[in-house]
Amino acid sequence: MKNMIAEFKAFIDKGDVVTIAVGLILALYFKTIVDAILEGVILPIISAIFGEPNFAAIGFDVGDAFISIGLVINALVSFLAVAFILFLLVKAYNKSKGPEEEEASGPSEVDLLTEIRDQLRANN
């Protein structure tokens, strides 16, 4: 049993599960904010443009079936809004980090492999 607990602890530590869990929880709450912006501001404006009180009511009838273009528009607007908001967040985050520090200059991987090859040839 102790071995299994040790293995589980190593599994948790190896994958940095806590950091991932915090990121996922923040993403879920961020989704709530984006949904509120979409449902409270953007989608009502688009619904008003089409003259429909309900966004899902935008569409047309084909026989007995109703083709809801509003649901497709809703999905597209939601995707574009989330993508744009995430773009702005990433851009602001990258700007706040400042200029990236260049990595320490040294020989490249190819240079090191070439040097090793040359040394092996010299020893034979």
Q: Which residues contact 42 (CB under 8 A, 6 or more apart)?
A: 77, 81
pLDDT at site 103: 58
pLDDT at site 33: 86
Strand 59-62 relative to strand 65-68, pairing: antiparallel
pLDDT at site 64: 92
pLDDT at site 62: 92
pLDDT at site 97: 80
Q: Mean pLDDT for each consecutive 10-residue tract of the chain (124 residues)?
A: 84 74 86 85 79 76 89 84 84 81 72 87 83
- The per-residue DSSP string of 5-26 comes to HHHHHHHHHHHTHHHHHHHHHH
pLDDT at site 77: 81
Contact at 8 Å (CB) between 68 and 59? yes
Residue with token string 């089409």: 50
The pTM (predicted TM-score) of the whole model is 0.50
Domains of the chain with bracketed CATH: 2-98 (1.10.1200.120)
